[in-house]
Amino acid sequence: MNTQPTLEKEGGNTGATGDSQQSDGSNGLKAGLKNRHLSMIAIGGVIGAGLFVGSGSGIAAAGPAILLSYALVGAMVVFVMRMLGEMAAARPSSGSFSAYADRALGRWAGFTIGWLYWFFWVVVLAVEATAGAKILEGWIPAVPQWGWALIVMVVLTATNLGSVASYGEFEFWFAGIKVVAISAFVVVGLLAVFGVLPGSDNPGAGFAHLTDTGGFFPMGAGAVLTGVLMVVFSFMGSEIVTLAAGESEDPQRAVTKATNSVIWRIGVFYLGSIFVVLTLLPWNDKSILEKGSYVAALDSIGIPHAGQIMNVIVLTAVLSCLNSGLYTASRMAFSLGQRGDAPKAFAKANKRGVPQAAILSSVVFGFVAVFFNYKWPDTVFAFLLNSSGAVALFVWLVICVTQLRMRGIILRESPEKLVVRMWLFPYLTWATIAMIVGVLGYMVYDGGSNREQVVLSLLVAALVLAIGLVKERIAKRAPQTELDQRV
């Protein structure tokens, strides 16, 4: 008989509520992530490859006003992370928001958002593997692009299969390189902006470039919303630390620290680095689109081999995203298995505390998606990409709605665990919901690929939801069926 488990049961099975040190060799994850791993996962989680690759298009579309786009989306992510941090600090779980939705909204909600999130990340695996393969093929053309994609996927699969500690160690160094690179870029760039960097080729115009080419809003104030659509998906990944916390020695401390630091992380890495680009170059400089915003900025300073330096950093960001994507997809599959919403094999961990079946199933789908990307890039893979495009916003929306209910549950059952609180509850929660719905609405209004992403993502979500509702109805009928059989 399939009954709905409580959040405590799910958390206990995953080792997330104080039993994380267990290792029974069958269904328990190990607490293999150290505090330094969690800290770097939290810091690096907000730095995706999209920041390096996609920022140039945003600048071209909105001009200096793209800073407001990043600020708006950044604020939305800060609020969502605060809500998620409140729930995760009180009830750490490998299923994170999916497990909380299961408890607060119903089995159907946890099932739907869990599988959508898994789908999102396995598609991301294919995107990032292809992006990394293009860079590597440029360096060593003797190996074909598909060969590099295969090599990258195999290596990171082996890393995740080894132990959670090996995932944490790889991510520690991947994220560390990203953090050091962007921090150095911001510092060096600011020195060049003010004309105090020795040997700089940049004229050091200060803040003049923010307004000297058509003003701060050269494309009109409405371009800020267009910019929001272009940058919103580069923020996906900040929630990974709440899943990883379930495999740490002190999950509550890790989640609290990550939640409290999200503001400065977004401020420095996103707003800080884009601000530097916009002050080093006029927003309409052709090199920003031709070379990429960061390469163009480095070239303006006179740093040699800027393109290759940035390729190394982008490759690191891609590998980091691949590493975390595989980890995240497998842990969500593990949690779904524990709640009876996925095959039972997904809920079993080996002697090393690794959910081997969940990892392999995720990477197999990722391999298939890579194949689709090479075989049918404009049809099958385009459908996969667009049908998962709006999932990030769906996840954030579910987190908000779940937190509205979970606050009362936590206060009623364990108020002492409410160590992280959402600001101005419930007003700011409702305001964040309105922001996310507004972005989705504007995507539909904007038309083109944005509308296609929302519509296809909604269709896939509706299909998964229908399966979840049918599954839940069958589970509710099971007790009566058993009774009838006894009679």
Q: What is the pLDDT of residues 183-196, one digit of tens each?
A: 999 999 999 999 99
Q: How far apart are CA 442 and CA 429, in angstroms?
A: 20
Q: How does DSSP assign 376-436, residue by residue?
A: STTTHHHHHHHHTTTHHHHHHHHHHHHHHHHHHHHHHH-GGG--S--TTTTHHHHHHHHHH
Which positions ≥6 away from 184 have C-beta within 8 Å? none
Mean pLDDT of 201-211: 91
Using pLDDT thresholds of 50, 70 and 90, give the confidence band for residue 131: confident
Quick one: pLDDT at residue 45?
A: 67
What 8-state DSSP symbol labels residue 281? S
Torsion of CA 151, 152, 154, 156, to 10 degrees: 160
The DSSP 8-state label assigned to residue 344 in this structure reads: G
Query: Would you say 225 and 442 are in contact if contact means Cβ atoms under 8 Å apart?
Result: yes
β-bridge mates for residue 33, sequence order: 248
Q: Write the DSSP symbol of residue 18.
A: S
Distance CA 220, CA 481 (A): 63
Structure letter (DSSP) for residue 208: G
- Averaging pLDDT over each range in 52-66, 119-133, 366-380, 399-413, which range is the top one? 399-413
Residue-by-residue DSSP string for 220-252 = -TTHHHHHHHHHGGGGTTTTHHHHHGGGBS-HH
Collapsing DSSP to helix, strand or coil, 21 comes out as coil
DSSP letter for 5, please: P
Q: Is the peptide bond before 426 cis (omega within 30 degrees of 0)?
A: yes
> What pTM, to 2 d.p., does this model score?
0.86
- Summarize pLDDT for 8-22 with one digit per residue, the tens: 334 433 333 333 333
**Length of the chain in terms of residues written:** 487
pLDDT at 411 over 90: yes
* DSSP symbol at 9: H
Average pLDDT of the chain is 85
Residue linked to tokens 């053309």: 141
pLDDT at residue 481 tops 80 = no
Interval 459-487 mean pLDDT = 74
CA distance 296 to 277: 8
Token pair recorded at residue 81: 């992370």
Q: How many CB atoms lie within 10 A of CB 471?
A: 16
Distance from C-alpha of 410 to C-alpha of 24, rounded to nearest angstrom? 29
- What pLDDT does 124 receive? 87
pLDDT digits (tens, 9 = 90+) for 59-96: 999 999 999 999 999 999 999 999 999 999 898 887 88
pLDDT for 479 equals 60
CA distance 62 to 69: 9
Least confident piece of the model among 224-228, 256-260, 403-407, 465-469: 256-260
Confidence of residue 480 (pLDDT cuts 50, 70, 90): low
Q: With contact defined as beta carbons under 8 Å apart, do 226 and 68 qualify?
A: no
Residues of the chain with pLDDT > 70, as a percent, come to: 92
- pLDDT bracket for residue 42 (50, 70, 90): confident
What is the pLDDT at residue 8? 38
Nearest to 251 by CA among 471, 468, 38: 38
First to last CA, the chain: 17
Q: Are the CB atoms for 464 and 111 separated by under 8 Å?
A: yes
pLDDT computed for residue 478 by the predictor:
65
Residue 147 CA to residue 137 CA, distance in Å, equals 9
**Residue 33 three-state SS:** strand
